[in-house]
Amino acid sequence: MLDLGVIVANFKFLVVQGLFGLGGFAGGTLRLAIPAIVLGFVLGIFIGLARLARSRFVSLPATLYVEFFRGVPLVMVIFWIWFIIPQLLRLPIPEYGVALTAFVIFEAAYFGEIIRAGIQSVPRGQVEAATAVGLTSAQTMRFVVLPQAIRNMVPALVTQMIVLFKDTSLASIIGYVDLTKAAQIVNNREIKPFELYLFIAVVYFVFTYSMSLFARRFERRLAS
Amino acid sequence: MSYQFKWSVLWSGQSGGWLLQGVATTLAISGLAWILAVGLGILAGAARTVPWRPLRLAGTFYVEFFRNVPLLVWMFFWYFGVPPLLPRGVQDWLFNHSAEFWAGMFALGVYHGARMSEVIRSGINSIPRTQFEASVAMGLTTFQAYRLIIVPIALRLIVPPATNESLNLLKNSSVALTISVAELTFQTRQVETYTAKAIEALTAGTLIYLVLCVSIAWIMARVERRFAIPGLIARGG
């Protein structure tokens, strides 16, 4: 039988600490996911634009960056950062910093691809028209191309944000106390794996599914 | 930086053997999970397109629930959560036959089955509805129409996105290290722990993943050309 008592008894630790990251010690899925999404997206914009640059000295490194990180598991990238950054900086970095760095670097490759595809989906004639009315190329990008590109990108971007949100569970591997790690900690004491892991599965689902519902509604509003 | 490189740690001692074992396990767990994922993907993807609501709902529930929860959570769920509920005999068998491998394989297959089904569903939806209507008009049952006409065409249409998803599966098999399946990432860490040469070990593991991904992409590109339906796929670039 499902023993829901274990969920109720540890609800505060799982949700307040593990999910939101409020309370005693550093942690929290959302405290990691939100900055990772924002920073990964920002870095992704630069990478996406760099891939489209006319100069090969700019576009080639960006292409290599994207292809490299899309061919490597995220777990591997987390271990890289975990070992390398302390070596380089000669000081210990908390799990939060390691995880955030790994997610931003890794997800920027995926965001970059989405942004590149979005920009390429804007018809060439738009750029020509903008140039013809006298806009500089930076102005064309800012006022003509990006506003249209971002609309086309929204569904893919939201999907990638969902992926990133789920990926933050991997931060638990290096000891960061997110929702997954919190469930592990409780389980070590209570030995109720079925209930606990099913419960956090539902919590993740509520978040990711509402994000995808939002994306679908947004898409429909754009289409009409 | 005072780091002393010593690449020979990768082939001296046991490291080379460990890495090879890791590759073998990664390929085994990914291969079996891939078969499961494609099977479930076809079933769920087809179920979501049939003209019968209960089946569509069941397919939708499976897909949305399993792909919206992190793979890591599913690993823990199938490895720690489910076995205690199984009959005694099954449990004993599992724990004598590397339960972590089977749980990891199952988690990977069920999770990617949900994602694969989305690819297959989009393939089925891209086939003109008239194909289905024509097969029913010829006297095929719905099941026959799917088995003989719709699914075979869809599978040939979706090779590129299915390749992408298969590579995701291969890369995600690294998550199985959390339930101590001795796959490539696990063995990379073992080399690192044993030799204290982090950069060398991680470089080796990373390169092996890149090589695996590139070779699979290359093989699938040939498969795609071999199975493309002339005139149906116009691929740009």
Output the domain CATH number for residue A10. 1.10.3720.10
- Work out the pLDDT band at B233, boundaries 50, 70, 90: low
B82·A194 Cβ contact <8 A: yes
CATH number at residue B122: 1.10.3720.10
Is the residue at B28 inside a domain?
yes
DSSP string, chain B: ------GGGGTSTTHHHHHHHHHHHHHHHHHHHHHHHHHHHHHHHHHTTSS-HHHHHHHHHHHHHHHTS-HHHHHHIIIIISGGGS-HHHHHHHHHS-HHHHHHHHHHHHHHHHHHHHHHHHHHHTS-HHHHHHHHHTT--HHHIIIIIIHHHHHHH-HHHHHHHHHHHHHHGGGGGGGT---HHHHHHHHHHHH--HHHHHHHHHHHHHHHHHHHHHHHHHHHHHHPPTTT-----
* pLDDT for position B232: 66
Model confidence at B236: pLDDT above 80? no
* pLDDT of res. A2: 77
Amino acid in position B227: F
Structural domain that includes position A50: 5-223
Percent of chain B with pLDDT over 70: 96
Q: Which domain holds residue B220?
A: 17-227
Provide the pLDDT for residue B1. 56
What is the average pLDDT score of chain B?
A: 91
Mean pLDDT split into 10-residue runs, chain A, 224 residues? 82 85 79 95 94 91 94 94 85 88 96 92 90 91 88 88 94 92 92 92 94 86 74
Q: Which residues of chain A neighbour B236 with C-beta distances below 8 Å?
A: none
Please tell me the total count of domains within chain B.
Answer: 1
Question: Residue range B166-195: average pLDDT?
Answer: 93
Answer yes or no: is B7 within a domain: no
d(CA B181, CA B173): 9
Q: Is residue B174 part of a domain?
A: yes
Nearest to B143 by CA among B24, B52, B32: B52
- pLDDT of A96-143, one tens digit each? 999 999 999 999 999 999 999 999 988 889 989 999 999 998 899 889
Task: Band the pLDDT of B138: cuts 50, 70, 90.
Answer: very high
Q: Is residue B2 part of a domain?
A: no
List chain A residues with CB under 8 Å of B3.
87
Residues of A in contact with B191 (CB under 8 A): none
Q: In this complex, do A73 and B82 lie within 8 Å of one another by their Cβ atoms? A: no
Is B80 in contact with A197 (Cβ distance < 8 A)?
Answer: yes
Question: Is B82 in CB contact (< 8 Å) with chain A?
Answer: yes
Note the pLDDT of residue A17: 84
Rg of chain A over CA atoms, in angstroms?
A: 21
Under an 8 A CB cutoff, do B175 and A197 touch?
no
Residue B10 counted as domain residue: no
Touching check for A63 and chain B: CB below 8 Å? no
Residue B235 lies in a domain: no
pTM of the model: 0.90
B-chain CB neighbours of A195 within 8 Å are 81
Q: What is the ipTM of this complex?
A: 0.89
Mutate to test the interface with A, among B2, B65, B76 (most CBs of A within 10 A): B76
Pick from B62, B66, B58, B99: nearest CA to B181: B99
* Domains in chain A, number: 1
